Amino acid sequence: MNLLSTCCVIAHIESIPRRRKSHNALIMKIIDTNIPDVKIIEPKVFGDARGFFFESYNRRAFCDALGTSVEFVQDNHSKSGIGVLRGLHYQIRKPQAKLVRVVRGRVFDVAVDLRQSSPSFGQWAGAYLSAENYRQMWVPAGFAHGFVVLEDDTEFLYKASDYYAPEHERTIQWNDADLGIDWSLDDIEPLLSEKDRNGSPFASAEYYS
C-alpha cells in the first residue's frame, strides 16, 4: 500500500462517527405525568462557584426526546404576585402547544385534557415549577392551561406553537367541580381576572375532537 492509499484509509477511519452518549440525555430528563402526553422536563444544570448554566431549550433534543415536531412562534413573559391564578385558557381554533417554566418564584401549573378522543379526556395533570427546580412543563395542543402563583414577584415564561388569537380564546372555570383540580392553595385566596371569574363550566365548554 502506497503512502496515498494509507492516508486515504486513515481519513476514512477518522470520518466514522464515534458512538457517544445521546445529547438529549446529557441536557434533559423527561418525567412522565399521570397524562402520558404531558411531560415534565428537567434540564441538566451545570453549576460552580461562578453560577450556573443550562440549555433552556434545544429544538432538536426536545423534539427527539418527546417524539414530536413543534415550532414555537411566540414567547410570553408574565410577572404576578402571590395568589394570582391565571386560567384555565385555551384556543378552540389555532390551538397552542406550550412549553412553560418559571425564572423567579414558584407556581403550581395545570393542564386539562380537552380532546374528546383521548383516554384522559377531562383529566388534569399538575406540577410545581420554580426558579429553584428549573423544571418545565410540556402542554400539547388540545389542552387547557392555567397556573397559580405561590410566591410574590413570580416570573413565568412560556413558548407557544401558534400566535395568540383572542377571538378563539376560551376559558374554563378554574374551580370546576367536574374537574376537581387540587390547586394546592392552602390558605391563599386566589386573585382572578374578570375573564377568569366568568369562565365556562367544563360540562358546557367547547372541546377538541
Please give the positions annotated as active site. Answer: 89, 158
**What gap in Å lies between CA 140 and CA 117, rounded to an integer?**
14
Give the SS3 label for residue 203: helix
Reading the block at residue 118, the C-alpha cell is 383521548
Cell of 80: 404576578
How many residues are given for the chain?
Answer: 209
Distance CA(174)–CA(193), nearest Å, equals: 11
CA pair distance 111, 143, nearest whole angstrom? 6
Render 113-159 in DSSP notation, one character per residue: E-BTTSTTTT-EEEEEEETTT--EEEE-TTEEEEEEE-STTEEEEEE
User: Amino acid identity of 171?
Assistant: T
Q: Supply 155's cell numbers.
A: 416570573
Q: Which residues pair with 41 in a beta bridge?
A: 30, 136
